[in-house]
């Protein structure tokens, strides 16, 4: 074994340990997986979901609890999609899996005008199909491959375009209360995930439906964050730390902090008065 090969193996093992440590910490911090949980791993064919499945399988061997993993892919009937790749890969690593078929591609193409972003509708349709399958089959955890950078980008998307201070939670209960969504890669960097997927030789399938769109708002956010990190190393780490360190008393949302009754102990706070009476 030559020096370069030994170095490559060393770097891969080091990267795997880092990803395993970060995923394990996220699972523990947010109580993502417990004894007897049935985890449905949503495998899209991208580097993120391949890495998520691989590290979860790795963690399961040493996990303090016993849990079940099954890989599920939604075939959206996108023209040219290589439908043989995922089944062949999953069979080769002996992971139970299910391929769902639903023609969401035609729906998206028919509904979304040319030049408009397809991701919103596409993700809603995909999420609906996966949630329904999880309920039908009794999977009580749905694992998605979103990573730390996705969470940070979503924060800025909601701030800039939605007027909300909201990101992407590592653990989420669906609106109907029937599904618990977990994001085990929440602490993992996108660069590490891509490097790991390349080193492991995962058969990554690019998304040509929306990935080819250059006008996505998320792409603009990505470019902004890359420039910030170039100019100020570690800025993304600081932003993510801020997401985990909320101080409601220093924001301005009256639903999450009682500003109305706030006052000095020696002074009885009056009001509240109707300050807008003259405007009505």
Residues 85-112 have pLDDT tens digits of 999 999 999 999 999 988 877 777 777 6
Residue 106: the pLDDT is 74
Residue 71: the pLDDT is 98
pLDDT band at 214 (very low <50, low <70, confident <90, very high): very low
Evaluate if residue 30 carries a pLDDT over 60.
Answer: yes
Evaluate if residue 211 carries a pLDDT over 50.
Answer: no
Residue 73: the pLDDT is 95
Residues 266-280 have pLDDT tens digits of 666 666 776 676 655
The phi-psi region of residue 94 (left if phi > 0; otherwise alpha if psi is between -120 and 50; otherwise beta) is left
Evaluate if residue 170 carries a pLDDT over 50.
Answer: yes
Percent of the chain with pLDDT over 90: 65
CA proximity to 159, closest of 84, 99, 242, 229: 242
For CA atoms 192, 193, 194, 198, give the dihedral sign: positive
Q: What is the pTM of this model?
A: 0.88
Q: Where are the domains of the chain?
A: 3-248
Q: Which residue has the higher pLDDT, 229 or 79?
A: 229
Residue 75: the pLDDT is 87
Residue 116: the pLDDT is 64
Query: Which residue bears the tokens 């653990």?
Result: 171
3-class DSSP state for residue 66? coil
* CATH architecture entry for 3-248: 3-Layer(aba) Sandwich (3.40)
Cβ–Cβ < 8 Å for 146, 168: yes
Query: Quick one: tokens of 8?
Result: 């490559």
């Amino acid at each position: 074994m030559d020096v370069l090969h030994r170095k490559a193996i060393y770097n891969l093992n080091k990267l795997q340990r880092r990803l395993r440590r970060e995923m394990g910490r996220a699972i523990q911090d947010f109580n993502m997986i417990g004894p007897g949980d049935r985890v449905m791993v949503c495998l899209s064919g991208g580097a993120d979901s391949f890495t998520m499945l691989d590290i979860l399988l790795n963690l399961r061997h040493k996990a303090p609890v016993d849990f079940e993993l099954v890989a599920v892919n939604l075939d959206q009937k996108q023209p040219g999609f290589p439908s043989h790749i995922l089944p062949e890969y999953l069979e080769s690593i002996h992971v139970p899996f299910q391929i769902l078929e639903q023609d969401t591609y035609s729906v998206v193409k028919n509904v979304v005008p040319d030049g408009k972003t397809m991701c919103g509708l596409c993700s809603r349709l995909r999420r609906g199909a996966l949630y329904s399958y999880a309920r039908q089959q009794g999977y009580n955890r749905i694992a998605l491959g979103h990573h730390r950078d996705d969470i940070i980008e979503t924060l800025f998307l909601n701030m800039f375009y939605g007027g909300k201070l909201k990101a992407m939670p590592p653990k989420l209960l669906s609106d109907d209360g029937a599904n618990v969504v977990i994001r085990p890669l929440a602490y993992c960097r996108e660069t590490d995930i891509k490097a790991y997927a390349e080193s492991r030789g995962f058969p990554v399938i690019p998304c040509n439906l929306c990935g080819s769109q250059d006008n996505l708002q998320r792409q603009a956010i990505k470019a902004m964050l890359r420039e910030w990190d170039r100019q100020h190393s570690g800025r993304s780490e600081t932003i993510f730390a801020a997401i985990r360190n909320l101080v409601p008393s220093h924001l301005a949302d009256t639903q999450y902090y009682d500003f109305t009754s706030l006052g000095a102990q020696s002074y009885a706070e009056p009001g509240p008065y109707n300050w807008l009476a003259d405007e009505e």
